[in-house]
Amino acid sequence: MKSDVFGLLRAAGPNPEYADKLMLYGRLVGAWNIEATYFEKDGTKREVAGEWYFDWILGGMGVQDILFAAGTAPERRGTSLRCYDPALDSWHIAWMQPWGGEFVNLLGRWVGEDIVQDEIVCSGSRQVRWTFSNVTADSFVWRGEVSTDGGASWFLEQEMRGRRRV
Protein backbone atom coordinates (compact mmCIF):
# COMPACT_ATOMS: atom_id res chain seq x y z
CA MET A 1 0.00 0.00 0.00
CA LYS A 2 1.36 3.39 -1.01
CA SER A 3 1.57 6.01 1.73
CA ASP A 4 -0.05 9.43 1.26
CA VAL A 5 2.60 11.40 3.13
CA PHE A 6 1.87 14.57 1.14
CA GLY A 7 -1.82 14.37 1.90
CA LEU A 8 -0.99 13.89 5.56
CA LEU A 9 1.35 16.92 5.55
CA ARG A 10 -0.95 19.35 3.73
CA ALA A 11 -3.18 21.72 5.71
CA ALA A 12 -6.07 23.84 4.45
CA GLY A 13 -4.73 27.03 6.04
CA PRO A 14 -3.19 28.49 9.18
CA ASN A 15 -3.95 27.04 12.59
CA PRO A 16 -6.68 29.37 13.95
CA GLU A 17 -5.04 29.70 17.38
CA TYR A 18 -1.95 31.41 15.90
CA ALA A 19 -3.36 32.66 12.57
CA ASP A 20 -1.92 36.19 12.85
CA LYS A 21 1.60 34.94 13.69
CA LEU A 22 1.45 32.27 10.98
CA MET A 23 0.87 34.84 8.26
CA LEU A 24 4.53 35.83 8.47
CA TYR A 25 5.12 33.08 5.89
CA GLY A 26 1.47 32.35 5.16
CA ARG A 27 1.25 35.36 2.88
CA LEU A 28 3.74 33.59 0.60
CA VAL A 29 1.52 30.51 0.14
CA GLY A 30 1.01 30.00 -3.58
CA ALA A 31 3.08 29.82 -6.75
CA TRP A 32 5.76 32.32 -7.75
CA ASN A 33 7.93 33.02 -10.78
CA ILE A 34 11.46 33.89 -9.72
CA GLU A 35 14.19 35.96 -11.34
CA ALA A 36 17.40 35.17 -9.47
CA THR A 37 20.74 36.95 -9.66
CA TYR A 38 23.90 35.34 -8.24
CA PHE A 39 26.76 37.69 -7.36
CA GLU A 40 30.43 36.69 -7.26
CA LYS A 41 33.12 38.47 -5.24
CA ASP A 42 34.95 39.30 -8.49
CA GLY A 43 31.95 41.44 -9.57
CA THR A 44 30.48 39.02 -12.10
CA LYS A 45 26.88 37.95 -11.89
CA ARG A 46 24.63 35.26 -13.34
CA GLU A 47 20.86 35.43 -13.84
CA VAL A 48 18.47 32.47 -13.65
CA ALA A 49 14.69 32.11 -13.95
CA GLY A 50 12.93 29.76 -11.58
CA GLU A 51 9.83 28.77 -9.65
CA TRP A 52 8.99 28.82 -5.95
CA TYR A 53 5.93 27.14 -4.41
CA PHE A 54 4.69 27.51 -0.80
CA ASP A 55 1.91 25.62 0.99
CA TRP A 56 0.49 25.02 4.47
CA ILE A 57 1.51 21.85 6.35
CA LEU A 58 1.27 20.14 9.76
CA GLY A 59 -2.15 21.32 10.86
CA GLY A 60 -1.42 24.84 9.69
CA MET A 61 1.55 25.31 12.04
CA GLY A 62 4.07 25.30 9.20
CA VAL A 63 4.75 26.29 5.62
CA GLN A 64 6.82 24.16 3.26
CA ASP A 65 8.23 25.30 -0.03
CA ILE A 66 10.01 23.92 -3.05
CA LEU A 67 12.42 26.11 -5.05
CA PHE A 68 14.14 25.38 -8.33
CA ALA A 69 15.57 26.90 -11.50
CA ALA A 70 13.40 26.47 -14.59
CA GLY A 71 13.88 23.04 -16.13
CA THR A 72 15.64 21.58 -13.08
CA ALA A 73 15.27 17.83 -12.59
CA PRO A 74 13.33 16.85 -9.42
CA GLU A 75 16.42 15.44 -7.69
CA ARG A 76 18.15 18.84 -7.99
CA ARG A 77 15.36 20.86 -6.36
CA GLY A 78 15.42 22.25 -2.83
CA THR A 79 12.88 22.55 -0.05
CA SER A 80 12.41 24.47 3.18
CA LEU A 81 10.34 23.40 6.15
CA ARG A 82 9.23 26.39 8.26
CA CYS A 83 7.38 25.78 11.54
CA TYR A 84 6.14 28.34 14.03
CA ASP A 85 7.29 28.01 17.67
CA PRO A 86 4.86 29.86 19.97
CA ALA A 87 7.29 29.64 22.92
CA LEU A 88 9.93 31.61 20.97
CA ASP A 89 7.51 33.59 18.79
CA SER A 90 9.85 32.64 15.94
CA TRP A 91 10.07 30.11 13.13
CA HIS A 92 12.40 27.13 12.93
CA ILE A 93 13.56 26.69 9.33
CA ALA A 94 15.42 23.84 7.65
CA TRP A 95 16.55 24.32 4.05
CA MET A 96 17.92 21.36 2.13
CA GLN A 97 19.04 20.70 -1.39
CA PRO A 98 20.73 17.29 -1.15
CA TRP A 99 22.08 17.20 -4.71
CA GLY A 100 24.20 20.29 -4.01
CA GLY A 101 25.02 19.29 -0.43
CA GLU A 102 23.16 22.26 1.02
CA PHE A 103 21.68 21.89 4.51
CA VAL A 104 20.98 25.05 6.52
CA ASN A 105 19.11 25.62 9.82
CA LEU A 106 17.77 29.08 10.52
CA LEU A 107 15.52 31.01 12.87
CA GLY A 108 13.01 33.35 11.18
CA ARG A 109 11.28 36.39 12.65
CA TRP A 110 9.83 39.82 11.89
CA VAL A 111 12.35 42.66 11.82
CA GLY A 112 10.42 45.81 10.96
CA GLU A 113 8.58 44.97 7.74
CA ASP A 114 11.06 42.24 6.73
CA ILE A 115 11.34 38.53 7.43
CA VAL A 116 14.91 37.92 8.61
CA GLN A 117 16.21 34.35 8.76
CA ASP A 118 19.54 33.89 10.53
CA GLU A 119 21.56 30.70 10.46
CA ILE A 120 21.65 29.09 13.90
CA VAL A 121 24.35 26.49 13.28
CA CYS A 122 27.17 27.95 11.19
CA SER A 123 29.41 25.79 9.07
CA GLY A 124 32.95 26.90 9.83
CA SER A 125 33.49 30.64 9.55
CA ARG A 126 30.68 31.04 7.00
CA GLN A 127 27.38 32.43 8.31
CA VAL A 128 24.22 33.06 6.26
CA ARG A 129 21.31 35.47 6.59
CA TRP A 130 18.31 35.26 4.29
CA THR A 131 15.78 38.09 4.14
CA PHE A 132 12.37 38.53 2.53
CA SER A 133 11.61 42.23 2.00
CA ASN A 134 9.13 44.36 0.09
CA VAL A 135 6.55 41.58 0.50
CA THR A 136 3.20 42.42 -1.12
CA ALA A 137 0.31 40.24 -2.27
CA ASP A 138 2.00 39.88 -5.67
CA SER A 139 5.75 40.32 -5.18
CA PHE A 140 8.73 40.05 -2.86
CA VAL A 141 12.50 40.38 -2.81
CA TRP A 142 14.62 37.65 -1.19
CA ARG A 143 18.29 38.28 -0.43
CA GLY A 144 20.90 35.73 0.58
CA GLU A 145 23.89 37.23 2.35
CA VAL A 146 27.08 35.64 3.70
CA SER A 147 29.45 36.74 6.45
CA THR A 148 32.91 35.29 7.07
CA ASP A 149 33.77 37.65 9.95
CA GLY A 150 31.15 36.74 12.54
CA GLY A 151 28.50 39.09 11.15
CA ALA A 152 30.61 42.25 11.15
CA SER A 153 30.15 42.56 7.37
CA TRP A 154 27.90 40.87 4.82
CA PHE A 155 28.28 40.03 1.11
CA LEU A 156 25.16 39.83 -1.09
CA GLU A 157 25.48 36.41 -2.72
CA GLN A 158 22.02 36.06 -4.24
CA GLU A 159 18.87 38.09 -4.85
CA MET A 160 15.54 36.70 -6.02
CA ARG A 161 12.57 38.72 -7.15
CA GLY A 162 9.29 36.89 -6.93
CA ARG A 163 6.09 37.58 -8.86
CA ARG A 164 2.95 35.68 -7.95
CA ARG A 165 1.78 33.35 -10.72
CA VAL A 166 -1.74 33.96 -12.00
CATH 2.40.128.20 describes domain 5-164:
yes
pLDDT in tens, 119-129: 987 666 788 99
pLDDT of residue 122: 66
Domains of the chain, residue spans = 5-164
pLDDT of residue 4: 87
Torsion angle in degrees (nearest 10) through CA of 120, 124, 125, 126: -60
Which segments within the chain are labelled E, that is strand?
30-39, 45-57, 62-69, 78-85, 90-97, 102-111, 114-119, 127-133, 139-147, 155-164
Distance CA 103, CA 94 (A): 7
pLDDT in tens, 7-22: 999 999 999 999 999 9
Angle at 140 between CA 137 and CA 142, to 5 degrees: 150
Max alpha carbon distance in the chain (Å)? 53
The single-letter DSSP state of residue 38 is E
How many Cβ atoms are within 10 Å of 90's Cβ, its own excluded? 18
